[in-house]
Amino acid sequence: MISNYIVIVAGGSGKRMEATVPKQFLLLNGRPILMHTCERFYQYDNTLTFVIVLPSEHIETWNALCKEYAFSIPHKTIDGGSERFYSVKNALDHIQAYQNTQEALVAIHDGVRPLVSLETIDKAFLAAKEKGNAIPVIAVIDSVRKVEDTGSSIVDRTQLRLIQTPQVFKLSLITKAYQQHFSENFTDDASVLETMGETIVLTEGNAENIKITRPIDLVIAESLLKNRDAI
């Protein structure tokens, strides 16, 4: 049986949250956000191998929280890097050392997106299995303008999509992509793969799958979590 992986990247500092606690450890309905995120994927598939990437200075705190909240999902904790790129690379290098088959899939997810739907996860895994990669997106509903030195101009929003995670890949493809040198143009894992000439496959995300980065996001997430059965 092929073992699939979930890499959860949790390297936030909490600066935009105006908090002294790293945002992935802030409480959401009485439990750290990162635990909610892990539990969502465990609910989807409890056979996934979990790899959590944290800054080295946060690992001790995470271990203490796991004891305090009786968090029992089996996982491996990996040191992060100076950029998200290096954090993901560290996780992939760890997986590659133990994975015997390149047919495995690996999902890469933001640690502070605890409200991803099971349907979004499933669509991404199914598409990646067939096509090699899958990136969940949602449509832009607001008007968008491009700002330049001479003014601004309207942008056709029907041609735009907002990118979410989990981004799911065949292990062989994304591992090869992460052998490249870091570039400032790498804004997500899909952009790393795309530089190899791969076509990026888009799947349907869910609007509730917000990234908790500001105080208002935490308020919204609290409300959504109370109605999670609808997500």
CATH (domain of 22): 3.90.550.10
Q: What is the mean pLDDT of the chain?
A: 93
Query: If pLDDT is split at 50, 70 and 90, which confidence band does 196 have?
Result: very high
Distance, CA of 224 to CA of 84 (rounded, Å)? 27
Query: If pLDDT is split at 50, 70 and 90, which confidence band does 18 have?
Result: low
Beta-bridge mates of residue 7: 51, 108
What's the pLDDT at 188? Answer: 97
What is the domain count for the chain? 1
Distance, CA of 176 to CA of 171 (rounded, Å)? 8
Mean pLDDT for the stretch of residues 22-47: 96
Residue 28, classed as helix, strand or coil, is strand
DSSP 15: T
Statement: residue 166 has pLDDT above 60 = yes
Distance, CA of 140 to CA of 144 (rounded, Å)? 9
Angle made by CA atoms 9, 10, 16, in degrees to the nearest 5: 130
**b/e per residue, 17-33, with b = 16+ CB within 10 A?**
beeeebbbbbebeebbb
Domain hosting 124: range is 5-230
Distance, CA of 115 to CA of 137 (rounded, Å)? 14
Distance, CA of 44 to CA of 28 (rounded, Å)? 20
Q: Cβ distance 34 to 52 under 8 Å?
A: yes
Amino acid sitting at position 30: G
Query: If pLDDT is split at 50, 70 and 90, which confidence band does 226 have?
Result: confident
Distance, CA of 3 to CA of 165 (rounded, Å)? 20
Distance, CA of 101 to CA of 104 (rounded, Å)? 6
Share of the chain above pLDDT 90, in %: 87
Beta-bridge mates of residue 140: none
Per-residue pLDDT tens over the stretch 146-157: 999 999 999 999
Q: Which residues contact 150 (CB under 8 A, 6 or more apart)?
A: none
Query: If pLDDT is split at 50, 70 and 90, which confidence band does 97 have?
Result: confident
Cα separation values, 61 from 26, 54, 141, Å? 12, 10, 39
Residue 102, classed as helix, strand or coil, is coil
Distance, CA of 44 to CA of 125 (rounded, Å)? 11
What's the pLDDT at 133? Answer: 98
What's the pLDDT at 21? Answer: 82
What's the pLDDT at 12? Answer: 60
Mean pLDDT for the stretch of residues 207-216: 95
User: Of the candidates 186, 7, 212, which has an alpha carbon nearest to the alpha carbon of residue 90?
Assistant: 7
User: Of the candidates 124, 103, 132, 111, which has an alpha carbon nearest to the alpha carbon of residue 44?
Assistant: 124
